[in-house]
Amino acid sequence: MTKPSTICVLASASPARATTLRNAGIEPLIRVSAADEAAVLAAFDDRDGLQTQGKVHALARVKAEAVIPTLTVAELEDFAGQHGFDSAKAAIVVACDSMLEVNGELVGKPHSPARARERIRALSGQTVTLHTGHAVSLVRVKGETVSVEATRVKAVATDVHFTELTNAEIDAYIDTGEPLEVAGAFTIDGLGGPFIAGVTGDPHSVVGISLPLVRSIATELGVFWPSLWNRL
Amino acid sequence: MTKPSTICVLASASPARATTLRNAGIEPLIRVSAADEAAVLAAFDDRDGLQTQGKVHALARVKAEAVIPTLTVAELEDFAGQHGFDSAKAAIVVACDSMLEVNGELVGKPHSPARARERIRALSGQTVTLHTGHAVSLVRVKGETVSVEATRVKAVATDVHFTELTNAEIDAYIDTGEPLEVAGAFTIDGLGGPFIAGVTGDPHSVVGISLPLVRSIATELGVFWPSLWNRL
């Protein structure tokens, strides 16, 4: 078995994204940094349409850019030592942003049961599109500095087909609290799974991180995907 | 929050199926019983074509039928007591069988690295179809007996689109051992996830159990889906 040699830094607080990486053999170094998302979105003029792909692109990029300057050689070396690496010479920084498009509107977290009910009723029996932007940067440790070698930003759109939910099912789902704090008021990897008839596209992107897209960008940046496996 | 009132019995030893149910809020009572799968398959004449749907149907049914007579009132009551139920009056028994069709051939577990390599090379860049049969029975506890009220059997076909893998990635993947003992020599919920560009259909069925199909059958049998939630 080859030893891991590339650290994966996940620039996201989402437990679902971290779990998705872990299930794929990658324990990430999680680093969340405050990006000014409002400022990024203010640069878009909604009279030009939703521009969803542009928004998730820009937000993913700003999240990666906020995290990279905070990385230190010492913590990368610590992480490498704890997770079976021989050294900490290279890392990828992965940032994501997801937005759900429902009937030509962008939909975020519902926060309240009333809004969640309204949202889920609108999803029932429909096909909606989840857009997820990904920024992947290759960083290298040279001596005492961490420097960025390259960044690629790509977005993916996945259609999600909902079953019809009864009002009693919607009420029971909302009672669990799960839909309140997730974008679009549903999860595919939680209690919401049985309410999704299917997807067209990458199911992991619906959870929040497209594994095949991250692999494809990492490969473009010269990273051998299995060099990220640090939890086999 | 409503209390759970329907037990889910999973007639499968697959850890991936159990995890899929757990993530969807259902801790199953796992009961595996020896069904004579060879005898079931012997009844099919391959000169009539692959008959994949018929085979996964028949295997799912025979697995459910093998498990049901082994269920006792005492164990259902024990399980109900341990998992927050008020009583153990009803249960669904869920059995599944998955088969992968690649270029007009049915493909099982590779067992050896050499066969896994050959299989994964054949998957690289291709779209293949995973068939999963589901048998769902509604059973009721009346006094000292467990009786079957109804059984429905349905199959689902999901297209899985593979990325192209390099030989070095295939070798590294096989070195982990993961593909050797899984049907079709890949997982979507493990290290194989980044090698799958996307699916058309229910991604959970690719893991081995279609949550929306089980919900739909359970509903047909009169079971309110949230009544199965025993691990919120």
Report yes or no: A17 at the B interface, CB cutoff 8 Å. no
Mean pLDDT of chain A: 95
Would you place residue B176 in the very low, low, confident or very high pLDDT band (cuts 50, 70, 90)? very high
Would you place residue A105 in the very low, low, confident or very high pLDDT band (cuts 50, 70, 90)? confident
Q: Is the pTM value of this prediction over 0.80? A: yes
In a mutagenesis test of the B interface, which of A132, A199, A223 is the best target, namely the one with the most B β-carbons within 10 Å? A199
The pLDDT, as a whole number, for residue B35 is 87
Task: State the complex-level ipTM.
Answer: 0.95
Note whether A175 contacts B2, CB cutoff 8 Å: yes
d(Cα B26, Cα A72) in Å, to the nearest integer? Answer: 42
Average pLDDT over residues B164-193: 95
- Structure tokens belonging to residue B15: 């850890």
Report yes or no: B198 at the A interface, CB cutoff 8 Å. yes
Helices and strands (H, E) in chain A, number of each type? 8, 7
Note whether A189 contacts B23, CB cutoff 8 Å: yes
Report yes or no: B168 at the A interface, CB cutoff 8 Å. yes
Q: Which helix (H) or strand (E) holds B22?
A: helix B15-23
Q: Residues B185-232: pLDDT tens digits?
A: 999 999 999 999 999 999 999 999 999 999 999 999 999 999 999 998
pLDDT at A48 over 90: no
Our answer to whether residue A97 is catalytic in this structure is yes
d(Cα B156, Cα B115) in Å, to the nearest integer? Answer: 27
- Chain A residues close to B198, C-beta within 8 Å: 158, 199-203, 212
Would you place residue A34 in the very low, low, confident or very high pLDDT band (cuts 50, 70, 90)? confident
Residue linked to tokens 């889920």: A120
Q: Choosing from A45, A48, A86, A97, which is the catalytic residue? A: A97
Q: Choosing from B97, B159, B175, B189, which is the catalytic residue? A: B97
Q: How does strand A29-30 pair with strand A6-10?
A: parallel
pLDDT at B2 over 80: no
Mean pLDDT of chain B: 95
Note whether A202 contacts B196, CB cutoff 8 Å: yes
Counting other chains too, the contacts that A35-43 makes at CB distance below 8 Å and 24 or more residues apart are A35/A59, A35/A62, A35/A63, A35/A65, A35/A66, A36/A62, A37/A62
Average pLDDT over residues A49-64: 93
3-state secondary structure of A172: helix
Report yes or no: B212 at the A interface, CB cutoff 8 Å. yes
The pLDDT, as a whole number, for residue B49 is 83
pLDDT, greater one: A229 or A38: A229
The pLDDT, as a whole number, for residue A50 is 85
The pLDDT, as a whole number, for residue B136 is 98
Average pLDDT over residues A153-174: 97
Residue type present at position A55: K
d(Cα A14, Cα A12) in Å, to the nearest integer? Answer: 5
The pLDDT, as a whole number, for residue A2 is 75
d(Cα B57, Cα B41) in Å, to the nearest integer? Answer: 11
Average pLDDT over residues B87-96: 96
d(Cα A221, Cα B197) in Å, to the nearest integer? Answer: 19
Average pLDDT over residues A164-191: 95
Q: Residues B39-49: pLDDT tens digits?
A: 999 999 888 88
Task: Supply the DSSP string of A107-158, one letter for each residue.
Answer: E----SHHHHHHHHHHHTT-EEEEEEEEEEEEEEEETTEEEEEEEEEEEEEE
Phi-psi region of A205 (alpha: psi -120 to 50; beta: other; left: phi over 0): alpha
Nearest neighbour of A199 by CB, restricted to B169, B194, B203: B203
Maximal CA-CA distance, chain A: 60
CB contact at 8 A, B22 and B3: no
CB contact at 8 A, B165 and B124: yes
Q: Residues A61-89: pLDDT tens digits?
A: 999 999 999 999 999 999 999 999 999 89
The partner residues of B162 in beta bridges, in order of sequence, read B196
Note whether B2 contacts A226, CB cutoff 8 Å: no
Task: Supply the DSSP string of B38-85, one letter for each residue.
Answer: HHHHHTS-GGG---HHHHHHHHHHHHHHHHGGG--HHHHHHHHHHTT-
The pLDDT, as a whole number, for residue B50 is 85
User: What are the angstrom distances between the C-alpha of A145 and each of A89, A95, A140, B17, B121?
Assistant: 11, 21, 8, 46, 41
The pLDDT, as a whole number, for residue B183 is 86
Note whether B189 contacts A226, CB cutoff 8 Å: no
Helix, strand and coil in chain A, % to nearest 5: 40, 25, 30
User: What share of chain A in percent tops pLDDT 70?
Assistant: 100
- Chain A residues close to B202, C-beta within 8 Å: 196-199
